[in-house]
Structure 1
């Protein structure tokens, strides 16, 4: 499974080992990830990325969590970063494949170790849990900036900006290249054309893909998730404010849900926005998630010990 190994300097007493791993998605697509492992991990975390965000963006969080005893797996979805083909032109896939096939298989990779599995989801990553076939293996998910994507939930300035991008900027770029060259706008990794088309379509609806007649089964599928969810919204995250979060999270209707609203100054930050949850200086945000996971793990261990 391991292709290469290098050592990352640790702020804790033990050094953290990170290994590049190759694994196969449920439908046979080859994926690439990084496993951050402390000497004696007590639990595992899978990081489910935002749309168009390569796994390297989550390195600081992964190292930090590993220094606190968690084994952490980051990975690139198909068509992104190290899991991308040589050219996205002509590359076909469904936006839902990232959850159904890729995240499901990442969870399987961690399940082989027999450790409890927790999940960190960023934006799309928080949507993806409901798409997996093995969500029951996830003890809890903490998700950041996960919402319905509809411009109507955004402040006026951001609403206008998003509509201009979707309707004026993106269409000619996609027509010219055959994919969305997002990297040229410094907005993230380039996106496969099918991801772009589905994302644009679903963001036109207040309830995102749950409003799509072709995706009726998703309401039933999301209702099957029973893992506890901590849904975080930074109050300066214009893309996923609380109203947008609620519009999506209502479909995880059988999952124990805790909503957490964040003010940047409460975490020693000047701003959080949509991406600041994982940038340098967000350690207090990470501490909150890791504390929640550790508490759940301790309670479950005590429960098993007394049984």
Structure 2
């Protein structure tokens, strides 16, 4: 394994080692998106597209992107349509499908970076790991490393989380959405507000053990995901109640022709008190990032 030369912590980062640039680009269907490109000022060894979790703005991943850029990886973060910088002035009446993020938005982000002749890695968080199978250009991705990607069904969760999730889906969210015409998720400090179409499909699919693969209207996705042959490294933290190993397998099994590596991690393994569903990218998670980037190094130098 190649060992990365790394800063001791994010405070030790040399901000002169990379530059950032706001990028305006079009999704595959022409929708206007906003991203941020983190580029090493010296040698760029490879590229990374960061595919976000549902309702998580790209700014959440800034610390990771800066870290990867300092280590030679040009990294691209972006907001899906309807989220943060890529949202319209109001989400009320905004029409879209939850699948658009992968089909149109992530596909365009991959194309944007793939213009350069460098290896291209996809780092996915939750929905971001689901989205590779929705793209039309997954063959351009050298490998995907995803964190917390699962089927979303409450039955895979511990009892306390299961009850909490059912209350949110069935009691809390419906009247909120009915009142304003979208999911005002930010009111609960859970993420960015979400378009109604995303909320409706997400709620529907989370009722099934195999997520949208159980939806007769999405039957074509079985064959679509089977076309992916990109190597996948799927990480589940053992305290991530939303995407425990059973949930991860329930979704990832549909990438049935992709070389699959299942990786379980624990907080104490990385000197952390907790990882959960969001801790993969929080401050202090550099050791998790190093494990991933060392995998990329091995793929660059087999």
* Same fold flag (TM > 0.5): yes
Q: Which residue number in structure 2 is paired with residue 95 of structure 1?
A: 98
SS state of the match for residue 270, structure 1?
coil
1:45–1:73 Cα contact (<8 Å) kept: yes
1:148–1:244 Cα contact (<8 Å) kept: yes
Alpha-carbon spacing, 1:89–1:259, altered in 2? closer, same or farther (3 Å): same
Aligned residues: 292
Name the TM-score, length of structure 1 as normaliser. 0.94
Q: Which has the higher contact order (CA 8 A, sep 6+)?
A: 2
SS state of the match for residue 143, structure 1?
strand
1:142–1:230 Cα contact (<8 Å) kept: yes
Q: State the 1:268 CA deviation.
A: 1.1
Q: Which residue number in structure 2 is paired with residue 18 of structure 1?
A: 20
Aligned partners of 1:146 and 1:9: how far apart in 2? 30
Q: Which residue number in structure 1 is paired with residue 4 of structure 2?
A: none
Aligned mate of 1:298, from 294, 297, 301 = 301
Aligned mate of 2:50, from 28, 47, 50 = 47
Q: Which aligned pairs between 1:115-194 and structure 2 lie closer than 5 A?
A: 115-194=118-197
Q: Which residue number in structure 1 is paired with residue 221 of structure 2?
A: 218
Aligned mate of 1:107, from 94, 110, 113 = 110
- Measured on the aligned residues, the alpha-carbon RMSD in Å equals 1.2
Q: State the 1:32 CA deviation.
A: 0.2
Q: State the 1:113 CA deviation.
A: 1.4
In the alignment, does 2:59 pair up with 1:71?
no
Q: State the 1:140 CA deviation.
A: 0.3
Aligned partners of 1:239 and 1:165: how far apart in 2? 14
Q: Which residue number in structure 2 is paired with residue 259 of structure 1?
A: 262
Aligned partners of 1:101 and 1:162: how far apart in 2? 29
SS state of the match for residue 17, structure 1?
strand
Q: Which residue number in structure 2 is paired with residue 35 of structure 1?
A: 37
SS state of the match for residue 162, structure 1?
helix
Q: State the 1:297 CA deviation.
A: 1.1
Alpha-carbon spacing, 1:166–1:73, altered in 2? closer, same or farther (3 Å): same
Aligned partners of 1:61 and 1:292: how far apart in 2? 16
Q: State the 1:11 CA deviation.
A: 1.8
Q: Which residue number in structure 2 is paired with residue 85 of structure 1?
A: 88
1:10–1:16 Cα contact (<8 Å) kept: no
Q: State the 1:232 CA deviation.
A: 0.2
Aligned partners of 1:60 and 1:133: how far apart in 2? 29
Alpha-carbon spacing, 1:13–1:168, altered in 2? closer, same or farther (3 Å): closer
Name the TM-score, length of structure 2 as normaliser. 0.95
Deviations 1:72-96 (A, max 9, x none): 0000000001000000000000000
Aligned partners of 1:15 and 1:69: how far apart in 2? 9
Q: State the 1:216 CA deviation.
A: 0.4
Q: State the 1:15 CA deviation.
A: 1.9
SS state of the match for residue 92, structure 1?
coil
Aligned partners of 2:275 and 2:35: how far apart in 1? 26
Q: Which range moves more in the overlay, 8-17 or 154-163?
A: 8-17
Alpha-carbon spacing, 1:89–1:70, altered in 2? closer, same or farther (3 Å): same
Aligned mate of 1:56, from 31, 56, 59 = 59
Structure 1 unmatched ranges of 5 or more: 1-7, 300-307
